Amino acid sequence: MPILQNSPSPRAEMDVLSEALLHARLRGDQARVYGPPAPFHIAFPAGVPRVHFAVSAPLLVHLDGPAQPIRLEPADVVLLGRESAHSIATPDAAEPPRALSPDDGTAEHGGHTSWLTGTFHVEDDTAAPLLAALPPLVHLPAAAEGNEWQQLSLDLLLAEIGNGRPGSWIMTSRILDLVLVHALRQWAASDQVEPGWLATVLDERLAPALSAMHRNLEYPWSVAELAELTRQAPSTFAHRFTEVVGQTPAAYLTERRMASAARMLESTATPVGRVATAVGYTSEPAFSRAFRRRFGLPPLAWRKQARERS
């Protein structure tokens, strides 16, 4: 088993969800207020994770499909994943949804039913596990206990939009990051969590094993050792892990090693052999083969391509 340090660094104390969000390369990007004259029905295509805040009410959020619309009151939030095509409408809207137009944006939202939309930028495919885990829609009513942060976040975002002050973009980005974390926390506390990667992060019985793998990627973990951390029999642990996350422990560990290697290759000049060792491979050729299977390119070629993109 890996030797635990007597004085772990602050990074070693990071919980798995925090670490996953840190490395997911999903960042708050932009926010804008919309306020077209009512009635309206505005379509938002899939492809970009978003949050919508109701600035004034009422509003209805329609997901594509037969689901009933979600009614938004002031400061209510909806978080929508990457694959969630949807629309926002006033309750009296009778027309089919239309695309946003430049005239729909407004800096002055008084007098019109309005909302704020924040988008998230996906930097690369290391965000895939998180994006795949997000539900189609998470609704967070502002009136619910523990959601006082929503009105504060909305006020901060409205204060930053269009003010032109230095640092406004980074302020907006950071506020959206916090909104995402809060939304995931609230969702995790609900009964809506579905099987998948995020469910594994939030599963108290599996979290110790998941945390150990994340903090010691270089260690050759066995199912028996991981099961011991969770106080389960190896067969019970392996079955539950595979059922909840959709991958075996070995496959999940390989995926995390590849994601960590990709970050090191992109952000450092560490030689490939040292990257291989850092993520648990004793053979550079074996690491290179595994990396190519995952990303379609050998490590050095992937590093060059990643840096050309940035």
pLDDT bracket for residue 5 (50, 70, 90): very low
Which regions of the chain carry the CATH code 2.60.120.280? 16-188
Q: β-strands 115-122, 26-34: how paired? A: antiparallel
Q: Which pLDDT belongs to residue 70?
A: 92
Give the model confidence (pLDDT) of 126-168 as tens digits. 555 566 667 788 888 998 888 888 999 999 999 998 777 888 8
Give the model confidence (pLDDT) of 81-111 as tens digits. 877 899 999 999 988 999 988 888 764 545 5
Fold of 203-309: Arc Repressor Mutant, subunit A (1.10.10)
Percent pLDDT > 90 in the chain is 43
Q: Which pLDDT belongs to residue 51?
A: 93
Cβ atoms of 42 and 117 within 8 Å: the answer is no
Give the model confidence (pLDDT) of 258-277 as tens digits. 988 998 998 899 999 999 99
Q: Which two tokens stand for residue 109?
A: 């939202």
pTM of this prediction?
0.66
Q: Can you tell me the mean pLDDT for 212-221?
A: 88
3-state secondary structure 226-240: HHHHHCCCHHHHHHH
Q: Taking 80 as the threshold, does the pLDDT of residue 170 lie above it?
A: yes
16-188, which class in CATH?
Answer: mainly beta
Task: Find, among 8, 19, 21, 25, the residue nearest to 214 by Cα.
Answer: 19
Give the model confidence (pLDDT) of 276-304 as tens digits. 999 999 999 999 999 999 999 999 999 99
What phi-psi label fits residue 296: left (phi over 0), alpha (psi between -120 and 50 degrees) or beta? Answer: left
Which regions of the chain carry the CATH code 1.10.10.60? 203-309
Instruction: Pick the more confident residue, 2 or 54.
Output: 54
Q: Taking 70 as the threshold, does the pLDDT of residue 123 lie above it?
A: no
Q: Which pLDDT belongs to residue 310?
A: 64
Q: Which pLDDT belongs to residue 196?
A: 56
